[in-house]
Chain A
Amino acid sequence: MKKKAEIVIVGGGPAGLAAAAAAEEAGVKSEDILIIERDGELGGILNQCIHNGFGLHTFKEELTGPEYAERYAEKVRQAGIPYLLQTMAVDIRAEGRDGNDAGKIKYVTAMNKNDGLFTVEAQAVILAMGCRERPRGALNIPGYRPAGIYSAGTAQRYVNIEGRMPGKEAVILGSGDIGLIMARRMTLEGAKVKLVAELMPYSGGLKRNIVQCLDDYGIPLKLSHTVVGIHGKERVEGVTIAEVDGNRKPIAGTEEYISCDTLLLSCGLLPENELSAGLGVALNPVTSGPVVNESLETNVEGVFACGNVLHVHDLVDYVSEEAGNAGRNAAEYVLGTGKREAASAAIGIRPGPGVRYTVPSLLRLGHMQEEQVIRFRVSDVYRDAALAVYFDDIPVMKVNKKVMAPGEMEQIKLKKRKLEEYPELEQIRIAVERAVPPKA
């Protein structure tokens, strides 16, 4: 077992693969990179996403999840980048061998059946562990605890990987994309999907998924509804749904019993940052992902993050793009080729009204490329509104948007040229505002 690498990438899903390929292209020798993947194949969760629609932005064609993953897995194999499968990273530490090196050397401890428990020493670590689904318990849905309650992703695994059906009649709580995809998938496999209930007055999923997965199959989407009871002592026999008020509290008298043998949950994804937290990486309470700067570097030097472990994405294309940046930046870090201007103070990027968070949330001009993409989500559905950007209190940009929704990630691009005009700049703020009236 090799005990040393320049860059260790934790996670061999779309983020980890794109990061690895980019780091190699940026000049890191392939044998100095190591990908650690817990599953039996590269590709992560894409392997169970057998529907198409992946890669429209990147490849201008509609690929299935496994096809999209394979493009990057193939790049990694072609480049000869080593990877370990069925290997779980269990601990990451940053230590120095002496004072100067303090915190600069990372130790990634992992285990698998072939190599046992081992530790790899690395200069840089790229966190690409992805996310997990919010379980029933975190939603505190009352009722019994029978079999037949699955997160949508678990059901997807049963159907698409195992070829098994988790149920015959399903209610889906939450209109996240996986829930919508599974509504269609279960229907195609012969199950009856009775309805999708969504707590919020809007869907958390992509518009195209609502059309293609619910509308096309006549599956009702009940907005401002939730599950208030689960019935059945051994296996689910039904659920009670109810309408909720503006404070998301169930309205008495609106309860309705729906018989079903399965409840699927698609109520949000949570970045898996237990390893990051153990390493001392600062997390953003809104995203549950690391706080990163323009280089996607965390507060722990040489530790980068990308993909759904950083913030939950809608489109894998953006994951790959972001991960590519993380890979290149990690390469610059270990090769020492980055323009590391020591005196470059960080400008804070803050979410203003209507914006929940931004990635990155710190920007160092000295490390910045010519253009920097800032990604974020809005906190409500906005029609005919605008995105406004402020440099300290000076309005510098305003873009009209026809529709914005929390389910679709937004972005703006900042030009380095523009930023250089404001040498005293301390804070960039992005907010949702009224649209600019059309010019007469």
Chain B
Amino acid sequence: MYDVIIVGAGVSGCAVARELSRYHMKTAVLERASDVCEGTSKANSGIVHAGYDAEPGTVKALLNIRGSRRMEELSEELDFPYKKNGSLVLCFEESDRGKLQELLERGKKNGVEQLRILEREELARMEPNISEHAAAALYAPTGGIVCPFGLTIALAENAFVNGVEFYLDTEVRKAEKTGAGYRLETSRGIFESRTVVNAAGVYADVFHNMVSSRKIHITPRKGEYCLFDKAAGDWVRHTVFQLPTKYGKGVLVTPTVHGNLLMGPTAEDIEDKEGVYTTGEGLAGLLERGALSVRDVPAGKVITSFAGLRAHEDGGDFIIGEPEDAAGFIDVAGIESPGLTCAPAIGEYVADLVRKRIPAQEKADFIAGRKGIPSMALADEERRQELIRKNPAYANVVCRCELVTEGEILDAIHRPLGATTLDGVKRRVRAGMGRCQSGFCAPKTAEILARELAADLGEISKAGGKSLLLTGCGKFPHANSGKTVREAGHIDGHIRQERGEA
């Protein structure tokens, strides 16, 4: 019997796990994917919203400002990439100035500091590539950018080293109330817990509706993005929004914290909770709408495109707390934008709710800090030499586009909750994230994964499940392929579980 089971290892679930790991509670996270950060948390804008968007008085508004204020400190504590680059909301029509002013007032009410309106001239000085259509802008110096993988993985690792158990490849199929709490039927057997935190992203309504008669409904709202080469990374320096429309915040153009340029998202309500496909129209429309904000969009420098699903609840606000008819079942549902920004605050907020149900002592030996994986690409010469002295594998470049070495990939694999897939390595150290999109490094990374996990190359996958890279040996197997290809499933969650107990 667990004290708390968190369903979903996205940024919200991991933030809650990390906050709960401060206390003497038996806590587990169940995740259906083979890694943390595999759903909405991996495909979003990576923005730390200043907090002027949400309606004052909503949970969103409260958690946004708290999360935004907390992010910088947390990024130092847990060592993930964050940058306060400031954000701009562009106004294109003189007649829309009222909306800009409204946004400013709303931001002030929400407690956002240093907000001000910029006129065209100052705007053009700050952002030389801004389009001539931009008449004015709301400037929020406290807006920022964050690595969504870095944040989620940091939270998960820190929760893990503080004793939270992670069960990956573990899909919850059924949730039901029992006398003592909740019983979860999963692909890996039954889990029982006194309380449940429902952080299941676009599936949160499914689990909620299994235990409560007060039904909620989540619509997957698809957002498509284009990511540009680092050569275009300084096209803008701030995060450039457009005045919100009824479909959301419009298309944004922003540098990423790693120095790429990102454009997106579209907003399309779909039925399929797995529908993370991009469309020709979506991507074309995106580039068109982005061109409203910046001139000469470097369309030829797109290196990849992707789609993510925002969990939009019909009511429009976050649903955080217990349904009236399901005590101890705490929803963290409808966490759409600015969910990433809110994550640190969601973690604290939900931890407080859990503690009301499970009074527990704080751990004296809680480890608050975490050191990330060193980056050879970002290190100066002295640091590079130091890393190479420590382990010569830091001098063996595997991903040349992003300058990622074998040493970093070894770190990614052997860390707490380490990577077992190509995508897992990619999100931890950026191998394959660059302009060739893993053409050169994927075979090498797969080889390192196979060696380190004592697996066959044929068992290595892109992202777990059926996403195997290879389908067997050729008709004329040669020396390198002497091993038989074993069935998939050798590398999965139980490895992590075993390490978790160590």
Q: B457-486: which have CB < 8 Å to A?
A: 457-458, 461-463, 465-481
Determine the distance from Cα of A106 to Cα of B276 in the docked complex, in whole angstroms.
48
Number of contact residues on A: which range applies? 35 or more
Question: Does chain B have a CB within 8 A of A282?
Answer: no
CB atoms of B467 and A163 under 8 A apart: no
Give the residue name and chain of the A residue nearest to B396 (CB): A113
Given contacts A142-B280, A163-B478, A164-B457, is CB(A261)–CB(B385) below 8 Å? no
B467 touches A147 (CB 8 A): yes
Stretch of B47-55, B109-117, B299-307, B331-339 with 4 or more beta carbons under 8 angstroms from chain A: B299-307
Cβ-defined contact, A132 with B274, below 8 A: no
A-B contact count (CB 8 A): 148
A47 to chain B, nearest CB (A): 13
Contacts of B467 in A (CB 8 A): 146-147, 234-235
B353 interface residue, CB < 8 Å from A? no
Interface size range of chain B in the complex: 35 or more
A352 to B470 alpha-carbon distance, docked (Å): 47
Q: Min CB distance, B251 to chain A, in Å?
A: 16
Check B472–A116 contact: CB distance below 8 A: no
Q: Is B303 a contact partner of A135 (Cβ separation < 8 A)?
A: yes
B57 interface hit (Cβ, 8 Å): no
Any chain B CB within 8 A of the CB of A159?
Answer: yes
CA of A44 to CA of B277 in the docked complex: distance in angstroms?
36
Q: Does B439 contact A (CB under 8 A)?
A: yes
Q: A250 vs B279: C-alpha distance in the bound complex, in angstroms?
A: 13
Q: B400 — which chain A residues lie within 8 A by C-beta?
A: 38, 88
Q: Note all chain B residues with C-beta closer than 8 A to A117.
A: 381, 384-385, 388, 395
Bound-complex Cα distance A261 to B472 (A): 13
- CB-CB < 8 A to B384: which residues of A? 111, 117
Whether B279 and A163, one on each chain, are in contact in the complex, defined by CB atoms closer than 8 angstroms, is no
Whether, in the assembled complex, A166 has its beta carbon less than 8 Å from a beta carbon of chain B, the answer is: yes
| Residue A158 CB within 8 A of the other chain | yes
Q: How far is the CA of A165 from the CA of B472 in the complex (A)?
A: 5
Knowing A112-B395, A234-B466 touch, does A162 contact B280 (C-beta < 8 A)? no
B363–chain A nearest beta-carbon distance, Å: 39
Task: Determine whether the beta carbon of B302 is less than 8 Å from that of A166.
Answer: no
| Stretch from A26-34, A56-64, A149-157, A210-218 that touches the partner | A149-157
Contacts of A229 in B (CB 8 A): 277
Chain A CB within 8 A of B442 CB: yes
Minimum C-beta distance from A275 to chain B (A): 10
Q: Which B residues touch A168, using CB under 8 A?
A: 471-472
Report 18 cross-chain contacts, Cβ distance below 8 Å, ordered by A residue: A88-B397, A114-B392, A132-B435, A132-B439, A135-B303, A135-B436, A138-B437, A142-B280, A142-B283, A142-B305, A143-B278, A146-B467, A162-B443, A163-B479, A164-B457, A190-B475, A230-B277, A262-B471
> A: which residues have CB within 8 A of B?
38, 86, 88, 90, 111-117, 132-133, 135-138, 140, 142-147, 150-151, 153-154, 157-159, 161-168, 188-190, 228-230, 233-235, 250, 261-262, 274
The 6 closest A-B pairs by CB, nearest first: A137-B304, A163-B481, A189-B474, A135-B437, A88-B397, A147-B462
Interface of B toward A, CB cutoff 8 Å: 226-227, 274, 276-280, 282-283, 302-306, 381, 384-385, 388-389, 392-393, 395-397, 400-401, 403, 435-440, 442-443, 447, 457-458, 461-463, 465-481
